[in-house]
Every structure is written in structure tokens, then in C-alpha cells.
Amino acid sequence: MTAEGRPGEAPDAAPFEYGADGPRVIVTGVDGSDTSLRAAAYAWGLARRGGARLIFVHATPIAALSMLAPGGAAVMRDAAEEIVGQLRREIGRAQATVDHEIVTAQGDPYAVLARVADESRADAVVVGASTQAGHRLVGSVAVRLVRAGRWPVTVVP
């Protein structure tokens, strides 16, 4: 039977849906760039307004050349810790509380974000737009996430 029903019959009722409108789990990538920090702020607002859980993800790319230089790995680790520290300070200044966590991992940022989004059953992914010119040819993390087509992706300029 169609939703309109037959003449003289009541239309079929839509099935009852448990849950809420909007995302319940939001994953956002943070790499310290201005666009990623704007994306994090946008995701924070979405999570606050919708009562969603927010997962900040910082992925440290493994750069082979930096590992060859003396102290290269330590420099990359220190930079990652500074970015996460900056994020924690900004969260501490926020006026509203949001259920959140910070995940850090080494690896390709796309692969790390995709893994965290899949494991957490994310309803949305929010990332900043890439400002690197080469990404127009090769593809940015945002473009790769959109092409994967597994989650709604918001790209913040």
C-alpha cells in the first residue's frame, strides 16, 4: 500500500524513529591551522546546541625525512603536544560544557580521521579546508573524506 492509501482507507503511518534530530557524535580534525581551529569551534557549537558528543582528532603525519634527521621525531612530537595543549587551553576557556574527548595518533590524517569516525560511529565529520595549493591536484583530507561517502562532511573555510 502506498503512503496515500486507497480510497476510504487511512494512510500508512510513518515508522516511529528513536533518537534525535542532528548528529549525536561529531568528529573534527585539528592540526593547528587556522581553518582547523575554525572547524573545531564550529563543531563545538554544533555539539553544544545539539547535545552531541565531540571527538577532536589530531593526527601527526609520519614524515620519513624528519625521522632521519637527528631529533626530527622529537621535534614532531613536541609540535603535536603544543597543538593539543593549545586545544585543551581553548576548551578550558569555553563558557559552555560539551561532552568531548581528544584523540591523538600518528599516521595519515585521512586514515586516522576515518578510523576514529568509524569506531565512534560518527554522525558527522567537520574539518577545515586545506590552504595548500598542491591539494587542489592531489586531494586534501576534506576531499578524501567527502569521496569516502561514509559520513556527512562539513568543510569549514
Distances (CA, A) of 118 to 59, 63, 144, 153: 15, 25, 15, 13
Q: Is 63 in a helix, a strand, or coil?
A: coil
Q: Is the pTM of this model over 0.75?
A: no
Tell me which DSSP letter residue 11 carries. Answer: P
Give the other-Cβ count within 10 Å of 137's Cβ: 6
Inter-residue contact 117 to 125 (CB < 8 Å): yes
Q: Give the pLDDT confidence of 103-112 residue by residue, as tens digits.
A: 988 889 999 9
Q: How far apart are CA 41 and CA 58, in angstroms?
A: 15
Q: Give the pLDDT confidence of 39-63 residue by residue, as tens digits.
A: 999 999 999 999 999 999 998 877 6
What is the overall mean pLDDT for the chain?
80
Amino acid at 19: G
Q: How confident is the model at residue 68 (pLDDT cuts 50, 70, 90)?
A: low
